[in-house]
Each structure stands twice: as structure tokens, then as C-alpha cells.
Amino acid sequence: DEDGFANAAVDTTTARIDETNSTESLTDTSGSAKVTFGNDVPVNLATSIVLVDTPALDGQLQTLAGNPVVFALDAGTGDLVGKDGATEVIRIHLTGATLTNIATGEVTYTYSTTLSQPLEHANGALENSALLSGVTFQVTDKDTDTAQGSFNVTIVDDVPSVTVVAASAVKAALDETATSSGVATINTGAIVKGNDPDVSGSGYISTATSLGALVTVSALFGADGPAASASTAYALAVTNANSGLTLTDGSAISLQLVGGAVVGVVSGGTFNGQAAFAISINATTGAVTVEQYLSLDHPNEATTANSFNSYDETLTLASGSLGVTVAIKDGDNDTATSNTADVSNQITFDDDGPTVLDKTDLYFANSGTVSGTGVFDYSIGADGHTTYSSLNSDFAAITLAGTVAGSAITAPTVTWASETSTAAVFNLSFSYLTGGVSTQETGTLTFDKVAGTYTVDLTDPISAVTISTVSNSSSIVGYQPGSSTVDNSQPDVAVAQVNPNLFIQFTGYAEPGSGNGADNLQSGSIDGSTLTYVNGELLTQSSAFVSISGTANGVAGDTMGKGEVMDMDFFTTNPTGFTGLTPDAQVGSMFLKFDGIGNSEDFIVILKLYDTVAGTYTTKAMFVENGDIFKGPGTGPGIYSSVTLDNNDGLLIIESNDYNAAGQHYVLVGAQITPTDEGITGPAINLNGAIGAGGASTGTQNLSSDTNDLGFKISDIGLVSTTTTAQNADLTFNVTVKDADGDTSPAQQLDVHVVNGVTYTGTADAETMQGTANGDTLSGNGGNDILQGFAGADILNGGANDDLLIGGLGQDTMTGGAGADTFKLDGLDINDLIVDYSGIGGQGDKIDLTALFDTAPGGGNIGNFVNYDAGTGALSVDTSGSGNAANFVQVAELVNHPAANTITLLYDDGVNQHTTTANVV
């Protein structure tokens, strides 16, 4: 041939097919091939080139299904077509020819490639290429010479892409309010899950799963489409280990990624190193599950601003601490991983608060132990305390108000004393005014957290304090000694009636002459020495007249002088002039008011005492220093505030704790007063002039310590007596339960009624009434009441609603009233009367025999050991469990004779409570 084909195989462009750019077909691109013909340029350029099918093309490409692409020429078009079976995958088509250089005869041929199906490429996230090499074409010149060339087609893989944004409306919201734990399922690896001590059981205290993924995914899989399986995988990421959360004890929580789960690990405190919560994600759906094991600190406490209610305070993880990523995979296993979306605020922990489950008001007697127990059952919730103090208690500040005998109490206080996980004890005190006198009461308020009860225990009965004074006497009469003859001159005996049932008999002694030798003041004769005092002795000397009035009281005049003794005895009736009688009136305290008192006077008081337990009399000496005297101007302290003092007045007060040591039970039945010791020695109580609990006299001093022999003027004498007659107290405790992160329950009002007498009348509230050892009448009058008669033949009336009536010892009469009532029988030897039993088919009453059967004999049904006679209404119990009729004892009579099949019996087998019916006889 003249010229041949110079550069016949020069392919100036490798056709590149990028799967990412799909249009009508998957993708379409073009290339060119240059051929130099010299002088033999074909006349018809378009027909001078054809594609050639070569076996080497087959199998170079594979579809996503892994099938080889096989090539063949399309007879109609001359295109080179690669197919997977009958499915076209790729087509190469000649598109044109152009003489691009006349001088050299260069012709440029163009072709296109069309990809209709995606091809398999190497795995990965890169745009890997698949090469179709050696695509052959043949050209023919003007004189029919032929030559072949080839070009390559590169199919460039596309790869998926993915981005995520937080789907802020989708949350995993937990609520700590739980009464028991659930079974934890999230694997925390070696990290031990915490066990909240305030929620029963072990496991999670709260859990939540989001309704769908926490992120919105934007994924492009390209021509390869998503993989047939596991095309999308969600994962958690810790973007900042600081969770921003703490436990209720303040221990911080950090985030750790453990096996695909995020675990909140406690740093410090009781739960150091343990899991407070864990978060897992469903890799397929993106749904997130959170399990909470320990209670978290929700810092907003109950305040006025939130109406003292912060139960639903919500916490989230700190922003930027928790993320979600998404990895996608396309049809030929190319992968892409998204950005990390912050989902920290989509994990929420709602607070819970303490809940009061049940409570009753309380009635108990103003006698005996002066205490009672009511119902106060509460759940602290998940946020319980791990340690306790006055600032770290289950109870917010408890307030107290109330009345005694209709007058408001004053200075009420309730102060935290001690607390554990099972009990809390508060000290209480208040003052009340009766008869113009203020009295302080103390006691305790104890919450039993296990039993769900509270107990109010008062130190003393609520009492009326009566101050009786000579200045307010209804009469002061002089008598001749040893008779009831009135003496209106200067009587040796005078009697002042200071209240209707209290009389003071006055006599006097004075030293005759010089007061020396036998004329000296003398101290009894128990120890054989008249100049040595021992307990049980009195001071004596020659009788002297007494001067008693509302303004001045003295011996041998209206003052007290050296060597003079004023003698007093207390009686409940008028002793007139008969001295030597045994005093029968008792008082707890006494006081002396002085006129013209200075800064040096001291004196001696001989206290006449009666032991209320032993029934014996004695005396004790007391030494009074000037500093023990309250000085005017002003009024007396505490309950003695009715005593008015001017500038030169003084007030001496002697109380029970001044003459009673621990375990002693003395009361005052009289006294002697003398300004001087007159050489008499012996041990005496060193008076502590203060009053109340802090005024106890515990020291001693010798009578010879008396140094001042000046006299003094007693302007008034007062006796203080107490009685519980008709003293009812109505107390109200306002109680708020508070958990470890400051959440509080609504305030609960506990009304406590201290009742004088044996008749209690309730209200429409739920109440616990506890009677005395006497025959009580307890009336609930509405509410779910608990009536406990204790000993005595009691009358219990439940009233409306569902009541529990417990007669206790003694033959009791119990009327349930409307509602499903429970009658509890406490003894085998008591025949209680149940007036209005209405059981099955009626009001649903029951009879509780738990106290009679600790467990069923032999483990059987106790109904086999209980007989009921519908004719007489007698309910009997087998005391031996033998079934022998002789051993049956009647324990109750059902007055209205209900049908046997309506009677429901309750008993306890030691584990659970059961119901049964009685045998019919």
C-alpha cells in the first residue's frame, strides 16, 4: 500500500464514565480516536470506521450481581454492546468523523459510551475505576486499505455520601418516679451498674426508648443504590466526657464508650466507678434506649416561685457530650460515614418527687404515756438520701401550731434530733397558757419510715397550772392553838384559804431572851444534836404569833428577823387551829415575794416533802443566796409572769427539780423559812435560782454558809399546783417530705388531738383514735378511720367510709357504720359485740382474726377452726386446733345475725393475708 496507516491506534481520549452523573441512562460520555490517512483520506468519513468485537472484552466488567459483561456488535447500528444476559449494561457508539488536518490527512473519529447498569468496583469510599481496555475499531482508506486501533473506556465508580442533623423533636425521656427496679439489658462491660437504695430490687430505676432515630439522615447511594443489607448503621459517639450531671450526693458523672454503648460512670462518693446510666442505639433503626440505675441531682428546689413543686424538672446531658453518626454502604459495598450530630439534649431525665401515700390525724388520751401513733406513709422516690442530718433529712422544716383549752400555744418549735433510713426523730416544745399561767411542754415526733407511722410522745400531760397566793386569799383567819376558836388578836395559828381546795396553816417560832443555850433555835433530834440538821428534821423553838396578810407576812410582827421561823403546812380542807395534823395538799412549786430586798440577804428554807410513790414524808434543807432572787423592776419569769416586781422587790422560786434528784417523786406539803442559821450546821441543797429544765439544783452547801443576819419582809407567798382536768390540746403539724435533690411533697397537715377523758369525737378526715385502759367511746364520723379501744369495755363507732375497729382487751361494742369496715378481734377470752356486720352482698365488712391465729394450725385454712351460729350470732374459735367442740370459745357476737355465707374472715399465714369463711353450726 502507498501510504498505509500512520498512527492508526492513537486514542487521544480515554472515555471516562462516571456513575455519579446519571441522566436518562445511568451515565453517558464520549471519546475520540485520531487516524492519519496521508493522501488516502476516505471519501466518506462516516463509513470509514467500524467497531470490532473481540473476545478479550468479555468478562473485563462485572455487574453488581457479580455477573460478567459479554460484548457483541449490534447488527442494526454497529454499536458495540456489553450485556448481562439480555440486559444491556454498556454501549459504545460511533458518533462522527472530521478531517482535522488536510496536510497530513488526519481524521478525528468520535464515539460515545452509555452505561445503563452499575458495575462492580473495588470496596471503599474512593472513586475506584473499572477499566475496559482494548476496544478495537477498524478504519478503511480511500483505496480500501484497512487498519485497526483501540481505545480504553474507564468506568469511574461513584461512592455514597451521607449527612445527619439532630431530629430535635425525637427524645429518649426518662422519669425517675419508680417504686421498683426493672431488669437491665444494656451491656456495660466491666462497669458495675449502680443499685439505687431508695428503689426496691436491682436493675434500672427508669428506662426509655426513643420513637425512632435521634437524627435525620440525608444519604446519597448513587448508581449502585443501597446495599442489600446493612446499608445504614447508626452509632453513638462520646464527644465530651463531661456529662454535666451528678448524683444526688454531688458525685460527677463522666461518659465512656463501652462496646458501642455510652455509660455514665460515677466519680467519687458511695457509687464511685459504677454506672449511673447507660445508653445504647439500635444500629438499624437508630432508636436509642437509656437505662438509669442511680438517681440524679435535679438542682432546682421547691420554692415559692414554683409553688413548692419541682417534680417534673428535666435534665439533659451537657451540650456537645453525646453524638450520633451514620455509616452507609452502597450496592458495591462502598461506604461513607456522616458527620457527628449532637443529640445530648435529646436524652432527658425527668425528676420525681416524694409522695405521701396515706395519713391519718391522731387522737390519744391526756393521761398515762401521753402518746399516740397515727399513719404517715410516704415514698421518698428515687432521690433518697444516703446520709442524714438536719440539713439532709426526708423532711423539710416542720411547723407546729395549736391550742390548749381554746388558747393558742406559744413559742412552738420542732427541731431535728436524729434520722436513719428507717426512722426520723424530732424534738418538739411549746408553751400554753391556762389559768393565767404559762407552762412549757416538750416531747418528740417520731416517723417510722418502715411501718409508715408517726408517733407523738409528750413528756407530761397537758396540765392546768394554778398559782394560789396569800395576797389573793379568800380569807385569812387566826385561831387559838388546838381549837377552831377564832383569834382576832395576835394569833399563834393563822389559816389562809388561797383557793377552794388549798389552805395554808401558819405558825411561828422565835428565840426567847438572848437566844443562847437552850433558847437557841433547835434542829429536831433525829441525830441527837439540836445544832446539827439532817433530812427529816424541822426547826423549833418557842411559839410566836404570826402576822399574815396580803401585803406582809412575818413572825412576832410583819417581818422576819434573826432567830425567827415561819412554819407552813398545806391542807385541802381548813385545819383551823389544830397543829400537828398531817398535811394532805400537794404542790409542785412555791415562791416568796420580798419587799425591800437588798443585795446581801440570804436565808434558809426547810422543805416539807411527800414521796408520792413510797408514801413517806421527809424534809430537806435549802440554802438560798441573794443571787438566787429575781430582782425588780419587771415581772416574774415564765409561768410566774403574773407576779409584778417594783424597784426594790425580789422573787424567790423553788421548783420540783430543785428538790427532786433523778428518780425521786417528792411534792411540797409545807415549808419553814428563817433568815439565820443560828449556829446550826448540816448539808443543804444549794438553790439554783433559775427556773425550768435549766434551773435544777444539783449542788449542796452547808447551812453555816449563811452570813447575813438581817431580816426581810415577805410581801406574798405563792403555791403552784397542776391538774389535767378538762385540758384538751389540739395540735397541728405541717409536714413536708423532701428528697435529696430538694423536691418536696405538698404540705401535709397532721391534726393531733390530746383528749382529756374517754370520749373522742372525730371529723370527716381519716383519723387514728387510741383510747385508754378505761371504757372509751370512740366515734370516727367519716373518713377511713382506725379506732383502737385498748383495755376496757369500749364503744367504737366507725361512721361513714371504710374503718378499722380494734376493740382490744375488754368486751367491746363495735359499730362499723357505712362502708367496708374491718372488725379486728384481739383476744380469745373476749366476747366483743359487732353490731352491724354487713359482708358479702352488702357493704363488704370483714372480721380480722390475725391476732388469734399467727398461722393456720397445720398450715390449713383457719375456717376449719372457726364456727358461726347464725341463730345466736355467736362466732367461736377452736383454741387448740383439735376440732373438738369443747375447745371452741366464743370471741364475738354478731348482733344482727347475718347469713353465714356473707361473713369474710381475715387471717395471716405468716407470709400473706388470706380470706376464708366460718363453719356453720
> Which sequence spans correspond to the domains of the chain?
6-158, 162-350, 355-463+724-756, 467-721
> Per-residue pLDDT averaged across 804-809, rounded?
84
Question: Residue 482: what residue type?
Answer: G
With H, G, I as helix, E, B as strand and everything else as coil, classify residue 46. helix
3-state secondary structure 757-787: CCEEECCCCCEEEECCCCCCEEECCCCCCEE
Do residues 754 and 364 lie in contact, with contact meaning Cβ atoms separated by under 8 Å?
A: yes
Q: 136: burial class by Cβ within 10 Å (0-12, 13-18, 19+)?
A: middle
Residue 3 has pLDDT above 60, yes or no: no
Torsion angles phi and psi, residue 703, rounded to 5: -55, -30
> Per-residue pLDDT averaged across 364-377, rounded?
92
Distance CA 516, CA 111 (A): 156
The cell numbers describing 752, all together, are 393531733
Percent residues over pLDDT 90 in the chain: 56
Distance CA 723, CA 719 (A): 13
Do residues 645 and 631 lie in contact, with contact meaning Cβ atoms separated by under 8 Å?
A: yes
User: Which helix H or strand E contains 569, and what residues bound it?
Assistant: strand 564-571
With H, G, I as helix, E, B as strand and everything else as coil, classify residue 161. strand
86 Cβ contact partners less than 8 Å away, ≥ 6 residues apart: none
Helix %, strand %, coil % for the chain, to 5?
A: 5, 50, 45
Distance CA 26, CA 82 (A): 14
> Per-residue pLDDT averaged across 244-259, rounded?
93
Do residues 121 and 17 lie in contact, with contact meaning Cβ atoms separated by under 8 Å?
A: no
Residue 26 has pLDDT above 70, yes or no: no
Q: Per residue in 502-532, pLDDT tens?
A: 999 999 999 998 889 999 999 988 988 999 9
> Per-residue pLDDT averaged across 700-721, rounded?
89
Measured CA distances, 739 to 197, 205, 268, 474 (Å) = 13, 16, 21, 60
Distance CA 270, CA 602 (A): 63
Tell which residue, 561, 564, 623, 585, has the closest CA to residue 505.
585
Residue 223 has pLDDT above 80, yes or no: no
According to DSSP, residue 517 is labeled G
Task: Identify which has the larger pLDDT, 348 or 742.
Answer: 348
Other residues' Cβ atoms within 10 Å of the Cβ of residue 59: 12
Distance CA 847, CA 837 (A): 9
Q: 213: burial class by Cβ within 10 Å (0-12, 13-18, 19+)?
A: buried
What is the pLDDT, as a whole number, of residue 169?
92
Q: DSSP strand E in 1-73: where? A: 6-10, 15-18, 27-36, 49-52, 70-73
> Per-residue pLDDT averaged across 168-180, rounded?
79
What is the pLDDT, as a whole number, of residue 6?
35
Looking at every residue in the chain, the average pLDDT score rounds to 87
426 Cβ contact partners less than 8 Å away, ≥ 6 residues apart: 395, 398, 414, 415, 416, 417, 444, 445, 446
What is the pLDDT, as a whole number, of residue 485?
97
What is the pLDDT, as a whole number, of residue 9?
37
Range with the poorest average pLDDT among 122-136, 241-255, 512-526, 557-571: 122-136
Q: Per residue in 299-323, pLDDT tens?
A: 665 555 555 455 557 889 999 999 9
Distance CA 31, CA 515 (A): 151
Residue 252 has pLDDT above 60, yes or no: yes
Residue 664 has pLDDT above 50, yes or no: yes
Q: 808: burial class by Cβ within 10 Å (0-12, 13-18, 19+)?
A: buried
Distance CA 717, CA 650 (A): 12
47 Cβ contact partners less than 8 Å away, ≥ 6 residues apart: none
Task: Identify which has the larger pLDDT, 798 or 259.
Answer: 259
Q: Per residue in 193-207, pLDDT tens?
A: 999 887 777 889 889
Residue 61 has pLDDT above 60, yes or no: yes
Do residues 446 and 457 lie in contact, with contact meaning Cβ atoms separated by under 8 Å?
A: yes
Measured CA distances, 633 to 337, 513, 597, 651 (Å) = 92, 39, 12, 11
Split at pLDDT 50, 70, 90, the class of 741 is confident
Split at pLDDT 50, 70, 90, the class of 702 is very high
Measured CA distances, 82 to 57, 64, 69, 589 (Å) = 9, 14, 6, 122
Grid coordinates 486514542 are at which residue?
Answer: 11
